[in-house]
Amino acid sequence: MTLGPLLAAPVHENNYQAAFIRRVIDSFARATGKSLIHRSGIDPEAPGRSAWLGNFALLTHRGDPGATLNYGNAFALRLWEYDWNSFVSTPSAATAPEEASESRDAAMKKVALDNFVSGYSGARISRTGRRFLIQDVTIWRLMDDAGGSFGVGAFFRRYRYF
Protein backbone atom coordinates (compact mmCIF):
# COMPACT_ATOMS: atom_id res chain seq x y z
CA MET A 1 0.00 0.00 0.00
CA THR A 2 1.22 3.46 -0.88
CA LEU A 3 0.32 6.19 1.56
CA GLY A 4 -1.93 8.91 0.27
CA PRO A 5 -0.35 12.35 -0.05
CA LEU A 6 -0.03 15.05 2.57
CA LEU A 7 -2.09 17.84 1.07
CA ALA A 8 -2.09 21.59 1.49
CA ALA A 9 -5.45 23.22 2.06
CA PRO A 10 -7.48 23.43 -1.18
CA VAL A 11 -7.23 26.99 -2.47
CA HIS A 12 -7.35 28.73 -5.84
CA GLU A 13 -3.55 28.68 -6.13
CA ASN A 14 -3.40 24.85 -6.02
CA ASN A 15 -6.57 24.46 -8.09
CA TYR A 16 -8.39 23.22 -4.98
CA GLN A 17 -6.35 19.99 -5.12
CA ALA A 18 -7.91 19.07 -8.48
CA ALA A 19 -5.29 16.41 -9.31
CA PHE A 20 -5.99 14.59 -6.05
CA ILE A 21 -9.77 14.87 -6.52
CA ARG A 22 -9.42 13.37 -10.02
CA ARG A 23 -7.60 10.39 -8.45
CA VAL A 24 -10.40 10.06 -5.86
CA ILE A 25 -13.06 10.20 -8.60
CA ASP A 26 -11.24 7.58 -10.70
CA SER A 27 -10.78 5.39 -7.64
CA PHE A 28 -14.49 5.57 -6.79
CA ALA A 29 -15.29 4.22 -10.26
CA ARG A 30 -12.71 1.42 -9.91
CA ALA A 31 -13.98 0.35 -6.51
CA THR A 32 -17.74 0.72 -7.01
CA GLY A 33 -18.33 0.63 -10.76
CA LYS A 34 -20.25 3.91 -10.38
CA SER A 35 -19.57 7.58 -11.06
CA LEU A 36 -18.78 9.92 -8.18
CA ILE A 37 -19.29 12.82 -10.59
CA HIS A 38 -22.84 11.62 -11.24
CA ARG A 39 -23.61 10.92 -7.55
CA SER A 40 -22.12 14.15 -6.23
CA GLY A 41 -22.59 16.66 -9.02
CA ILE A 42 -18.85 17.42 -9.13
CA ASP A 43 -18.08 19.48 -12.23
CA PRO A 44 -15.61 17.41 -14.33
CA GLU A 45 -14.18 20.67 -15.73
CA ALA A 46 -13.42 22.01 -12.22
CA PRO A 47 -13.31 18.94 -9.96
CA GLY A 48 -11.19 20.46 -7.19
CA ARG A 49 -13.26 23.59 -6.72
CA SER A 50 -16.63 21.87 -7.08
CA ALA A 51 -15.64 19.08 -4.66
CA TRP A 52 -14.36 21.64 -2.16
CA LEU A 53 -17.58 23.69 -2.35
CA GLY A 54 -19.99 20.76 -2.80
CA ASN A 55 -23.15 20.19 -0.76
CA PHE A 56 -21.88 16.78 0.35
CA ALA A 57 -19.11 15.41 2.54
CA LEU A 58 -16.03 14.06 0.82
CA LEU A 59 -13.14 12.93 3.00
CA THR A 60 -10.15 10.64 2.70
CA HIS A 61 -7.49 9.15 4.89
CA ARG A 62 -3.94 8.27 3.93
CA GLY A 63 -3.94 4.53 4.55
CA ASP A 64 -1.28 4.82 7.25
CA PRO A 65 -1.57 2.73 10.45
CA GLY A 66 -3.37 5.61 12.19
CA ALA A 67 -5.67 6.19 9.19
CA THR A 68 -4.82 9.89 9.34
CA LEU A 69 -7.24 12.09 7.45
CA ASN A 70 -5.67 13.90 4.51
CA TYR A 71 -8.65 15.55 2.79
CA GLY A 72 -12.02 16.89 3.81
CA ASN A 73 -14.07 19.28 1.74
CA ALA A 74 -15.55 22.44 3.25
CA PHE A 75 -18.81 20.59 4.04
CA ALA A 76 -16.92 17.94 6.05
CA LEU A 77 -14.81 20.55 7.87
CA ARG A 78 -17.97 22.43 8.93
CA LEU A 79 -19.71 19.24 10.02
CA TRP A 80 -16.78 18.04 12.16
CA GLU A 81 -15.99 21.63 13.26
CA TYR A 82 -12.32 21.56 12.25
CA ASP A 83 -10.00 23.86 10.38
CA TRP A 84 -7.88 22.28 7.62
CA ASN A 85 -4.68 21.75 9.60
CA SER A 86 -6.45 20.16 12.55
CA PHE A 87 -8.56 17.92 10.33
CA VAL A 88 -5.64 16.54 8.34
CA SER A 89 -3.76 15.59 11.49
CA THR A 90 -6.72 13.67 12.96
CA PRO A 91 -6.98 9.87 12.93
CA SER A 92 -10.12 8.78 11.11
CA ALA A 93 -11.22 6.76 14.15
CA ALA A 94 -11.35 9.99 16.20
CA THR A 95 -14.29 11.19 14.08
CA ALA A 96 -16.52 8.54 15.66
CA PRO A 97 -17.50 8.26 19.34
CA GLU A 98 -16.05 5.28 21.19
CA GLU A 99 -19.39 3.46 21.32
CA ALA A 100 -19.56 3.51 17.50
CA SER A 101 -16.13 1.94 16.99
CA GLU A 102 -17.49 -1.60 16.47
CA SER A 103 -19.80 -0.47 13.66
CA ARG A 104 -17.05 1.63 12.08
CA ASP A 105 -14.54 -1.24 12.32
CA ALA A 106 -17.02 -3.63 10.67
CA ALA A 107 -17.49 -1.21 7.75
CA MET A 108 -13.73 -0.82 7.36
CA LYS A 109 -13.29 -4.63 7.32
CA LYS A 110 -15.88 -4.85 4.55
CA VAL A 111 -14.00 -2.19 2.58
CA ALA A 112 -10.78 -4.16 3.04
CA LEU A 113 -12.48 -7.30 1.69
CA ASP A 114 -14.76 -5.90 -1.02
CA ASN A 115 -13.10 -2.53 -1.84
CA PHE A 116 -16.23 -0.59 -0.85
CA VAL A 117 -19.38 -0.51 1.23
CA SER A 118 -22.48 1.54 0.43
CA GLY A 119 -25.52 2.41 2.50
CA TYR A 120 -23.48 2.67 5.71
CA SER A 121 -24.82 4.75 8.60
CA GLY A 122 -22.94 5.50 11.78
CA ALA A 123 -22.59 7.86 14.72
CA ARG A 124 -19.91 10.53 14.53
CA ILE A 125 -18.65 13.26 16.82
CA SER A 126 -17.36 16.72 16.02
CA ARG A 127 -14.29 18.38 17.51
CA THR A 128 -16.51 20.15 20.07
CA GLY A 129 -18.42 16.98 21.01
CA ARG A 130 -21.52 17.51 18.88
CA ARG A 131 -22.92 14.11 17.86
CA PHE A 132 -24.49 13.29 14.53
CA LEU A 133 -25.48 10.34 12.41
CA ILE A 134 -24.02 10.08 8.91
CA GLN A 135 -26.38 8.24 6.56
CA ASP A 136 -26.21 6.43 3.24
CA VAL A 137 -22.42 6.66 3.17
CA THR A 138 -20.22 5.07 0.53
CA ILE A 139 -16.76 4.17 1.80
CA TRP A 140 -14.21 2.87 -0.67
CA ARG A 141 -10.60 1.88 -0.99
CA LEU A 142 -8.64 4.49 -2.91
CA MET A 143 -6.84 2.61 -5.70
CA ASP A 144 -4.52 3.83 -8.42
CA ASP A 145 -4.47 2.57 -12.03
CA ALA A 146 -2.33 -0.44 -11.06
CA GLY A 147 -4.68 -1.42 -8.19
CA GLY A 148 -2.38 -0.10 -5.48
CA SER A 149 -4.17 1.38 -2.50
CA PHE A 150 -3.48 4.94 -1.34
CA GLY A 151 -6.05 5.18 1.46
CA VAL A 152 -9.80 5.18 1.96
CA GLY A 153 -12.49 7.65 0.86
CA ALA A 154 -15.98 8.42 2.11
CA PHE A 155 -18.87 10.27 0.49
CA PHE A 156 -22.31 11.19 1.86
CA ARG A 157 -24.95 13.90 1.73
CA ARG A 158 -27.23 13.00 4.60
CA TYR A 159 -26.65 13.47 8.30
CA ARG A 160 -28.67 14.45 11.35
CA TYR A 161 -27.71 15.71 14.77
CA PHE A 162 -28.83 13.86 17.88
> Is the per-residue pLDDT at 130 higher than 70?
yes
Looking at residue 56, its amino acid is F
Assigned architecture for domain 12-161: 2-Layer Sandwich (3.30)
Mean pLDDT of 73-99: 96
Per-residue model confidence as pLDDT tens digits over 4-60: 889 999 999 999 999 999 999 999 999 999 999 999 999 999 999 999 999 999 999
Q: How much is the pTM?
A: 0.96
> Is the per-residue pLDDT at 123 higher than 90?
yes
Alpha carbon separation from 132 to 40, 55, 80, 81, 100 (Å, rounded): 21, 17, 9, 12, 11
Q: What is the DSSP letter of 2?
A: P
Task: Look at residue 57 in the predicted model and tell me its pLDDT.
Answer: 98
Proportion of the chain above pLDDT 70, given as a percent: 99
State the average pLDDT for the chain. Answer: 96
- Cα separation, 5 vs 105, in Å, equals 23
Is residue 137 very low, low, confident or very high in pLDDT (cuts 50, 70, 90)? very high
- Cα separation, 102 vs 158, in Å, equals 21
Q: Which ranges of 53-100 does DSSP label H, i.e. alpha helix?
A: 74-80, 84-87
- Cα separation, 154 vs 144, in Å, equals 16
Residues in contact with 52: Cβ distance below 8 Å, sequence separation at least 6, in sequence order: 10, 16, 17, 73, 74
Is residue 1 very low, low, confident or very high in pLDDT (cuts 50, 70, 90)? low
